[in-house]
Structure 1
Amino acid sequence: VNPFEVVKVGLQANRDSFKEQPSAFAQARRIIQADGWGLRGLNKGLTSTLGRHGVFNMIYFGFYFNVKDAVPPSPDATLEFLRKFTIGLLSGTISSCVNIPFDVAKSRIQGPQPQPGQIKYRTCLQTMALVHREEGFLALYKGLVPKIMRLGPGGAVMLLVYEYMSGWLQRHW
């Protein structure tokens, strides 16, 4: 996942016109030639990416299955659908709120540095501390609203698909 994130962030940060932008393959080749495959190249920001995904999934699935077991199911199919959707929506929203500092750190590390030739954002925790110190606590939550708008409903839909497909497979296989 991380090499694709590095290429994506590099393309998104490129200020050239769309016609002049390199392809994803050309961008990956440029990164490998300049910085290699390691933690300064295609795997730049790996700990932030792992933190982002690890924290999100731990809370997302942990919250969903614990709350789903705690809230009694409904015999009414529509209410049961809404129960699962609401718990999934909350799972995606809460997970996004908790893991976004890792996302901000990942974007700062993988994106262009403020001073060309100088690496300001080096590691996940160093970047979080630096952003907090220089820009304030709320800077660690930049982009939270669009993230929630995507992962709240998206998380609900993903868990609904899982629930209904799992149930169907268990009944028919």
Structure 2
Amino acid sequence: MQTSETPAFGAPARLFHWLTALLLVGQYVIGWLMPHVNHDTRPVGLIGLHLSFGATIVLLVLVRLAWRFSHKPPAESSTLPRFMRLAASATHGLLYALLIALPLMGWANASARGWAVSLFHVIPLPALAATGSALGHTLGDVHKLTAWVLLGLIGLHVAAALFHQFVIRDGTLGRMLPGVRKTR
């Protein structure tokens, strides 16, 4: 139940948030389970699925950002210290940036390997790098490291939501989870 102090995000914003989270869980599981990518690896099975999930995440985040810029979010608690509001803004900005950059780096790496990238073998997507591109191969290495950075930011995001719910008790978690009450 929401209070007037903690207005909830609308259904589309919550849907974009949780679809992104679900795709990310799937993407990390696939990334850990798929075979190691080397020179002779082909983009089949889990690797092909990983590429499709990545492309889907980019498209979803772009739609999510378009929605975000065209729909004002509910007001945040003005009682939070300025450094917390700045930290939240910086974290959200980095999350959005990495949710776009990380899949694009993987896509460029796939293109450099000569792999065709598509959305679930239905919609072909353009190559982001020429086959054999040194930049594309380098972006593959950066992609692996950046995946860990994103995971850390996601952990920080979750920890902050729990901190708001159980320490500050301001109902912030309820903005994205309908039915979560402000703790007393």
Q: Greater relative contact order: 1 or 2 (C-alpha under 8 angstroms, separation 6 or more)?
A: 2
Larger Rg: 1
TM-score (norm 1): 0.30
Q: Larger % of helix: which?
A: 1
TM-score (norm 2): 0.29
